[in-house]
Amino acid sequence: MKKPLKMLAYDFGASSGRAVVGSFDGKTLSTEEIHRFSNDPVNVRGHLHWDVLRLFYEIKQGLLKCANSNNKDICSMAIDTWGVDFSLLDENGALLSNPFHYRDILTDNIMQEVFRILPENELYRLTGQQFMKFNTIFQLYAMKCQNISAFKQTKTLLMISDTFNYFLTGVMATEYSIASTTQLLDSVKKEWSEEIISKLELPRYIFPRIVRPGTILGSLSSEISDECCIGKIPVISTASHDTASAVASVPAMSEQFAYISCGTWSLMGIEVDHPIINEESFALSYANEGGVGNKIRLLKMIMGLWLVQECKRQWDREGKHFNFSELEAMALASAPYKSFINPDDVQFMPTGDMPRRIASYCNDSGQSVPGNIGETVRCIAQSLALKYRLTVENLEEISDKKLPVIHMVGGGIKDRMLCQFTANATGRVVFAGPVEATSVGNLMIQAMALGEVKNLHEIRQVVKESFPIETYMPQDAEQWNEAYIRFKNIIK
C-alpha cells in the first residue's frame, strides 16, 4: 500500500453520535474523532421520537469537516446505529414522521396481542430472537392496531442506519445484522420471514432487500457531494447494528471467548456458526443475531450503564453534580455486597428517578437500602457483574462451549471498577479494549469491503496490533461466590 487508506465511520449510540476517520496502513489502524454530537430523544405530545433529520445534519457536518481538513481524501464511509427502531417512507421516498424511540409507550401491552396470533415458542422458533417489548415487530404491530396514519401510508420501512444510507445515496436496502434485531427475520434463511409477515397481516412490500455486511451500496449523491464539498465517495453498508460492528473488533485469536459490548446496554454473548434455537435457549431468552463472516451472535441484552446514566441525570436535576470518575470513586469507598438488583427488572426501563426505583427494589426484596450515591452506584456495578456471571454460565450450557475469557469492548470499559468486578464475579480473565470498538469494527469492515483485509480473523489481528488491551485478573473469589448465591436468590 503506497499510502494509508482513509475511511470515515459514523457511530450512533442511544445518547450521542460521533464521526471517526480511520487510517489503515495495511497492518495497523489509527483513528481520529473529528465530530461528536448529542443524540437526544424528543418528547412530543406524550410520545418519544428520534430527530433523524437533525442527526442527518450532523452526518453532513462530519463530511464538511473532512472536506475542510487533511481528511478530504477519505475513500469510503459507513454508518452504524442502535437496532430495533425504523423510519417509514411514502411512495415518493419521503419521510412520513419522526421514528418512535424504543423507550416510548407505543408498545405497552402489545406483546400479548402478537402472541395470540403467533405464540411465543413459535415466534422464537422462526426468529431465535430475545423478546423485548420494543422490538420492531411489536412497534409495527402496535402502529397497525392503533391506526397510526404514517403506517397506513408506508411504502418502505428502513432501519435507522439504512435511512441515513438512503438519504446519502438514494439506495434502499436493509443490512443483515440490523435486520436481525427486528424479530421479523428468519434466522435460518437469513431473509424476511414470510410466515410472520403474513400471519400479522403486515404489508410485505414495505420490507426492502437485505444486503450483507461489507456491501458497497453506491456513492454519495450529487446533491450531498456538492453540499458537503467532497467527492462521490462509496457508501458501504457495514455491520450496521452497532453491536455487530463492536463484536467484529473483538481482538480474540481463539473461538473460546465471550464478549460484552459495554455501554448504555450490555450485549453479552458468543459467536456460533449456526443459530442455537431450542427449549433451553427459548426458556432463557437468548437472541440469535446476525454477525460478520456468516457468524451468528448468540447473546443476551442486559440493562447496562443506562442504570448509572439515569441515576446521574436525577442527581444532576437535584443539583448533585458528579462526573463518572467521581461516582466510581464514591462507589469504591462504599461497603461491598450490601444490596443487589436485577438489572433487567421492567421497572428500570423507563426514564425518571432511577435512584428511588433502586431503593424501592432493595426495600421490597428485604435488603439494605443504599443510603447514599456511592452505595447506589456500587449496587449497580456489583449487580451487573453478577448478571454477567449468570449469563456466561448459561451461554456455556446452551452452546456446550467452555468460555475461559471475556472480552469487554466499548465505552463502558472506561469504568475500570466494572471491568474488575466482572473478572471477580465471573472468575474469568477479562480483556478490556478497544474503547471505540464500534467505530473500529465499522472501519475494518469497510477495509474488508475495499479488499484490504480478507476476513474476520484478519480484522481481529489488525485490532490486536493497533489498540491497547488491559487485562483484569479475578480476585476475592470466596466473597463473590457468596454474593452470587445471594444475588440469584434475590432476582428469582
Concatenate the DSSP letters of all residues of 431-480 into one string: EE--TTHHHHHHHHHHHHHTTSS-SHHHHHHHHHHHS--EEE----HHHH
Residue 135, burial from CB neighbour count under 10 angstroms (0-12, 13-18, 19+): buried
The Cα 24–Cα 28 span in angstroms is: 6
Residue 130 phi, psi dihedral angles, 5° rounding: -65, 140
- Name the phi and psi angles at 48, rounded to 5: -90, 135
| Closest residue by Cα to residue 242 from 283, 213, 271, 203 | 213
Start-to-end Cα distance in the chain: 57
pLDDT (tens digit per residue) in 36-81: 999 999 999 899 999 999 999 999 999 999 999 999 999 999 999 9
Cell 456468516 sits on residue: 294
Choice among 11, 162, 242, 415 that is catalytic: 242
pLDDT confidence band for 2 (50 / 70 / 90): low
Cis peptide before 434 (omega within 30 of 0): yes
Do 40 and 56 contact (CB within 8 A), yes or no?
Answer: no
Cell of 44: 412530543
The region that residue 185 occupies, defined by phi over 0 for left and psi between -120 and 50 for alpha, beta otherwise, is beta
Pairing of strands 405-409, 257-262: parallel
3-state secondary structure of 62: helix
pLDDT confidence of residue 26: 95
Angle at the Cα of 315 from the Cα atoms of 313 and 316, rounded to 5 degrees: 65
Average pLDDT of every residue of the chain = 96
Write down the pLDDT at residue 449: 98
Using an 8 Å Cβ cutoff, are 233 and 74 in contact?
yes
* Span 374-420, pLDDT tens digits: 999 999 999 999 999 999 999 999 999 999 999 999 999 999 999 99
pLDDT in tens, 100-144: 999 999 999 999 999 999 999 999 999 999 999 999 999 999 999
**Could you check whether the bond before residue 275 is cis, i.e. omega within 30 degrees of 0?**
no
Average pLDDT score over residue span 146-164: 96
pLDDT band at 14 (very low <50, low <70, confident <90, very high): confident
253 band by pLDDT with thresholds 50, 70 and 90: confident
Distance of alpha carbon 75 from alpha carbon 234, whole angstroms:
7
Cell 491497547: give the residue. 468
Directed axis angle between helix 456-466 and helix 437-449, to 10°?
A: 130
- Are residues 244 and 438 in contact, defined by beta-carbon separation less than 8 angstroms? no
Annotation marks residue 242 as catalytic: yes
If 0-12 CB within 10 Å is exposed, 13-18 middle and 19+ buried, where does residue 458 land?
middle
Domains of the chain: 5-242 (3.30.420.40), 250-433+454-492 (3.30.420.40)
Is 409 within 8 Å of 261 (Cβ atoms)?
yes
Give the model's pLDDT for residue 247.
97
| DSSP conformational letter for 81 | B
| Phi, psi angle pair for 457, to nearest 5° | -60, -45
Q: Given pLDDT bands bounded at 50, 70 and 90, which one contains residue 15?
A: confident
Question: pLDDT, tens digit, for every residue of 255-313?
Answer: 899 999 999 999 999 999 999 999 999 999 999 999 999 999 999 999 999 999 999 99
**For residues 399 and 465, what is the distance between their CA atoms, to the nearest angstrom?**
30
For the stretch 162-221, pLDDT in tens is: 999 999 999 999 999 999 999 999 999 999 999 999 999 999 999 999 999 999 999 999
- In this prediction, residue 439 carries a pLDDT of 98
pLDDT at 351 over 90: no
pTM score, whole prediction: 0.94
310-345 pLDDT per residue, tens: 999 999 999 999 999 999 999 999 999 999 999 999
Calpha distance 81→452 (Å, rounded) = 24
Cell (9 digits) for 75: 475513500
In this prediction, residues 445-460 reach a mean pLDDT of: 97
